[in-house]
Amino acid sequence: MLNYKEEFDHELNEDIDVLTETANPYQLIVWNDEVNTFEWVIETLIEVCGHSSEQAEQCAMLIHTQGKYAVKNGDYDDLKPMCDAITERGIGATIEITAF
C-alpha cells in the first residue's frame, strides 16, 4: 500500500507525463544532405529557430551523423513558419507528430 507521499508523487508524475505528451505534439525535423554547409545550417537554426550558436552547432552535427534531427518541438502552428523558412533556404525540413 502506498503512503500519502508516494501516492502524491505518483499522481504528480502522471500529470507531468500527460502535460509533456500534449504540450509539444510536433517536431521540426531537419534533414541531412550533401549540398548545404554546416555554416549555412547553423546560421539558419540561429536565425529561424532562435538557437544559440552552441545549440545550432550541436544540432548540425546530429543532423549530419544521424541523417535527420528534431531541432524544435512545439505546436504545428508555431513550427510551420519555421519549417517554411528553412526549406526556402534550400534545407530539407518537415514537421512530424512526436512519437510517444
Q: Where are the domains of the chain?
A: 24-97
What is the pLDDT at residue 52? 98
Query: What pLDDT is attached to residue 5?
Result: 57
Question: pLDDT digits over 68-84, tens only?
Answer: 999 999 999 999 999 99
* Biggest distance spanned by C-alpha atoms of the chain: 60
Question: What is the pLDDT at residue 91?
Answer: 98
pLDDT at 24: 76
Distance CA 80, CA 61 (A): 23
Amino acid at 3: N
Grid cell 541531412 in the structure block, residue = 32
Q: What gap in Å lies between CA 68 and CA 23, rounded to an integer?
A: 22
Bridge partners (DSSP) listed for residue 27:
73, 96
How far is Cα 50 from Cα 16, in angstroms, rounded to an integer? 26
Position 6 scores a pLDDT of 61
pLDDT in 10s for each residue of the chain, 100 residues: 555 556 655 565 555 555 555 567 999 999 999 999 999 999 999 999 999 999 999 999 999 999 999 999 999 999 999 999 999 999 999 999 987 6
What is the pTM assigned to this prediction? 0.76
Query: What is 24-97's CATH topology?
Result: Ribosomal Protein L30; Chain: A, (3.30.1390)
